[in-house]
Amino acid sequence: MKKFTTIDLFAGVGGIRLGFEKAEFDTVYANDYDKNCKITYDANFDKVPLTIKDITKQSDANFSSVLDDIKKIKYDVLLGGFPCQAFSIAGYRQGFRDSRGIGDLFFYVAEIIEKTQPKAFLLENVKNLKGHDKGRTYKIIKETLESLGYHVKEEILNSMDYGNLPQNRERMYIVGFKSKEQFDRFKFPKKIKRSKKISDILEEKVDPYFYYENKSIWEKIKDYPFVENIVYQWRRVYVRENKSGVCPTLTANMGTGGHNVPLVKDKKGVRKLTPLECFRIQGFPEEYALPDIAKSHLYKQAGNSVSVPVIYRIATNMLEALQS
């Protein structure tokens, strides 16, 4: 059976790669701009380390260098969780006109697809991409991909419904195939019953660092009626309980003291989730190594990553389609 190969763009710490490699794809190239991601990424993948080249600065020279790298590689499937800040409800709502240029990164992805013609691709982004600018943003994206000769379909999947994970995380997944036959064969995964609970991902022994009793925030939250094994959010001025019994969407800024900080109560007290717990909530395997770097970097990496079991299920279905 043929082994299909992938390139991993905006790779972060390798969440998409993990899902595809579990589905028996081989990674032949990986790129990101974040040097801290490389520390974590390279600690977990022996082959094909993360190449650090920054195309987010909109430098033609930087992009050309990445494109030249990819042109030298034969591969089958392009993977990319391209930066979502330009499309996120939490971002600047400027889309392709994002003042930081991040929105335009999609067009760099499109150029790589145009110049290298993979058999298929998977792109991941925030749910809000679908409705951004009254649907015009995604209309441009889909029409661009179709103009390159691809058949494209998209779906919004929630990690708690499609990944058996205790996290309310809705993300948009865009899949494209050159072959109409393969496109017709591909189906997004169906919902599955969730069995994993918050209690399943919590560490048994947690460093005192993570508890709030001796921190300034404690005076603001100490009177709230916390219940064990439920995730709460600190929203700068108030505490909010997640009524669905799962963790709210992990965010990149949760380690910086801002809003959306996930809180739990255990037998010792009230604390924030640990980085390991955040990676578990994203479905990373237990053997995934977290290096000794600043906790803020690890929180950001977990929040920016993907839910690995959801990616695995999409990858499995893509493999079946490609083998047709």
Span(s) in the chain for CATH 3.90.120: 198-301
Among 161, 153, 156, CA closest to 172: 156
Query: Three-state DSSP class for 297?
Result: helix
Give the per-residue pLDDT at 100.
Answer: 46
Q: What is the mean pLDDT of residues 202-221?
A: 91
Give the per-residue pLDDT at 134.
Answer: 86
Span(s) in the chain for CATH 3.40.50.150: 5-194+306-322
pLDDT at 86 over 80: no
pLDDT, mean over the chain = 89
Range among 19-23, 67-71, 140-144 with highest mean pLDDT value: 19-23
- Specify whether domain 5-194+306-322 bears CATH 3.40.50.300: no
∠ CA 251-256-261, nearest 5°, is: 50
Give the per-residue pLDDT at 101.
Answer: 52
Instruction: Starting at the earlier edge strand, list the strands of the sheet with 170-177.
Output: 51-52, 26-32, 5-9, 77-80, 120-126, 170-177, 151-158
d(CA 114, CA 117): 6
Assess contact for 266 and 274: CB atoms under 8 A: no
| DSSP strand pairing (261-266 vs 232-234) | antiparallel
Give the per-residue pLDDT at 201.
Answer: 96
∠ CA 231-171-177, nearest 5°, is: 155
Q: Which residue has the tokens 């701009």?
A: 33
∠ CA 309-211-272, nearest 5°, is: 30
Beta bridge pairs of residue 239:
234
Give the per-residue pLDDT at 206.
Answer: 96
Which H or E run contains 239? Answer: strand 239-241
Q: Where are the alpha helices (DSSP H) in 256-307?
A: 275-281, 295-304
Token code pair at residue 91: 């971002």
Instruction: Identify the active-site residue in 37, 84, 247, 278.
Output: 84
Give the per-residue pLDDT at 105.
Answer: 79
**pLDDT tens-digit series, residues 25-48:** 999 999 999 999 999 999 999 999
Model confidence at 3, pLDDT cuts 50, 70, 90, reads very high
Give the per-residue pLDDT at 216.
Answer: 85
User: Which of 16-20, 26-30, 214-218, 280-284 is least confident?
Assistant: 214-218
Assess contact for 171 and 128: CB atoms under 8 A: no
Residue 278 a catalytic site member: no
d(CA 176, CA 185): 12
Give the per-residue pLDDT at 173.
Answer: 98
More confident residue, 90 or 244: 244
User: Which of 77-81, 214-218, 299-303 is least confident?
Assistant: 214-218
Give the per-residue pLDDT at 99.
Answer: 47
**pLDDT tens-digit series, residues 273-282:** 999 999 999 9
Model confidence at 259, pLDDT cuts 50, 70, 90, reads low
Phi first, then psi: what are they for 54, rounded to 5°? Answer: -95, 105
Range among 54-58, 232-236, 245-249 with highest mean pLDDT value: 245-249
Give the per-residue pLDDT at 94.
Answer: 55
Cα dist from 323 to 2, 58, 187, whole Å: 8, 37, 14
More confident residue, 181 or 104: 181
Matching CATH number, 198-301, of 3.90.120, 1.10.10, 3.30.470, 3.40.190: 3.90.120
Token code pair at residue 276: 């390991």
Query: Three-state DSSP class for 304?
Result: helix
pLDDT at 82 over 90: no
**pLDDT tens-digit series, residues 103-126:** 577 888 898 999 999 999 999 999
d(CA 17, CA 28): 10
User: Which of 11-25, 47-61, 241-255, 260-274 is least confident?
Assistant: 47-61
pLDDT at 85 over 60: no
Query: Three-state DSSP class for 57?
Result: coil
**pLDDT tens-digit series, residues 128-174:** 888 888 888 888 889 999 999 999 999 999 999 999 999 999 999 99
Q: What is the mean pLDDT of residues 236-245?
A: 82
